[in-house]
Each structure stands twice: as structure tokens, then as C-alpha cells.
Amino acid sequence: MTSHYPITPLTDITEDDDALIELTEAADICGLHPEMIEEFLRGGLVSAFRSEEEIVYFDHHGLTRLRQISHFRYQEHANLRTIRYILSLLETLDSREQELRELRERLR
């Protein structure tokens, strides 16, 4: 089975396998249907890892992203386009905060 979305091969990660959560377990944790998560993967809203057996796994960052998506989707009633925009803004904010920390560190 080939993926229609980019997934990093499991062999390319350096984290412990214990830190990885299978797609169905991630769906249970986040209160999302596995097919909805597949849609998020296709849309590039979240990234995952794939084993040689074609099993999709999420690391801590992926699970956190799924929880964010679930919150915006079901608590804030945002559509996927709006969620994509919000996540983009959050990533930009994180990047700017990191730049600010680095600049402050240089001034010390």
C-alpha cells in the first residue's frame, strides 16, 4: 500500500519506539476517527512515521498536533482551512519567539 501523503520512514527517526503511538491508538487518545487523521495527513496538517509494514505512527509532536487539531475542530468548530491557518500562525509565532530568545541571549 502506498501513501498519498509524505510520511517519514520509521528507520529515519532517532527516538525510542516506546515514544511512538500507532494511528489507531492516537485516534482513541485524541477522540478522532482514524480516517479523519488520514485526511489530516493528506492535507499536511500533521506528520507521521511509517514502518516497513506500512503501519503509521506518531511521535510526541504529532500527537500534540492532533490534539490541537481536535480542539480547533470540535471545541472551536473550525473548518480545516481555518485550522490550517491557525496552525500556520502558531508556527510563525513559535519561530518569532525563538528568534527573540536568541537575540536576547546575544545581548547578554
Q: Is residue 103 part of a domain?
A: yes
Q: Is residue 2 part of a domain?
A: no
Phi-psi region of 54 (alpha: psi -120 to 50; beta: other; left: phi over 0): left
Q: Is residue 62 part of a domain?
A: yes
- Average pLDDT for the chain: 86
Distance between CA atoms of 69 and 92, rounded to whole angstroms?
17
Q: Confirm whether pTM is higher than 0.85.
A: no
pLDDT digits (tens, 9 = 90+) for 10-56: 555 455 555 899 999 999 999 999 999 999 999 889 999 988 888 99
Domains held by the chain: number: 1
List the domain range (segments joined by +) for residue 72: 8-107
**What is the percent of the chain with per-residue pLDDT over 70, rounded to a whole number?**
83
DSSP H or E segment with residue 8: strand 8-9
Q: Is residue 74 part of a domain?
A: yes
Q: Is residue 65 part of a domain?
A: yes
In one-letter notation, the amino acid at residue 4 is: H
**What is the percent of the chain with per-residue pLDDT over 90, rounded to a whole number?**
72
